[in-house]
Amino acid sequence: MKKFSINDQSFEIDKDYTILQFLLLISVQVPRFCYHEQLSIAGNCRVCLIEDIKSIKPIIACAINIADGLNVYTQSVKAKKAREAVLEYLLINHPLDCPICDQGGECDLQDLSLVVGGDK
């Protein structure tokens, strides 16, 4: 039995879950690019960063298993800033093609930029 808390809410489970899988179960929104249920975990987009109280750096929710005593925050300032910075890196060399891009309008990168991206 593992006891842990997410956003100050306590949970107990027996099974092995990654943090992101559990967040999906309890309908907590965390952005993601490389995670897919049907694929093996890559953990390279780093946009699902969340804050772990015990670690200095934010952790990726998709590749870290839930352990006993875990204490994470998905919407803290640290987590939000980390995600914003990751997204900025993704966009820094992106061509300015939205108006002529076929994917424009149904693009995950655009959607995430609106939700977690910088506003200035």
Partner 1 sequence: MPYDIYDSLTFNIITAQNGDCYDRYLIRINEMKESLKIIEQVVNNMPLGIVHLNDWKLVPPTRDFMRFNMEALIHHFKLYTEGYSLPKNYNYMSVEAPKGEFGIFMVSDDSNRPYRCKIKALGFFHLQALNTMAVNHLIADVVTIIGTQDIVFGEVDR
**Contacts to partner 1 by CB under 8 A:** 88, 91-92, 94, 96, 98-99, 104-105, 109-111, 113-114, 117-120
Closer residue to partner 1, CB minimum distance, 3 or 94: 94
Question: What is the number of other CB atoms lying within 10 angstroms of the CB of residue 13?
Answer: 13
> Residue 117: which residues within 8 A CB-CB, separation 6 or more?
84, 87, 88, 91
DSSP H helices in the chain? 19-25, 77-92, 108-116
Q: How far apart are CA 113 and CA 118, in angstroms?
A: 7
The minimum distance between CB 76 and partner 1, in angstroms, equals 19
Closer residue to partner 1, CB minimum distance, 24 or 109: 109
The minimum distance between CB 1 and partner 1, in angstroms, equals 36
Closer residue to partner 1, CB minimum distance, 10 or 95: 95
The minimum distance between CB 81 and partner 1, in angstroms, equals 15
119: helix, strand or coil: coil
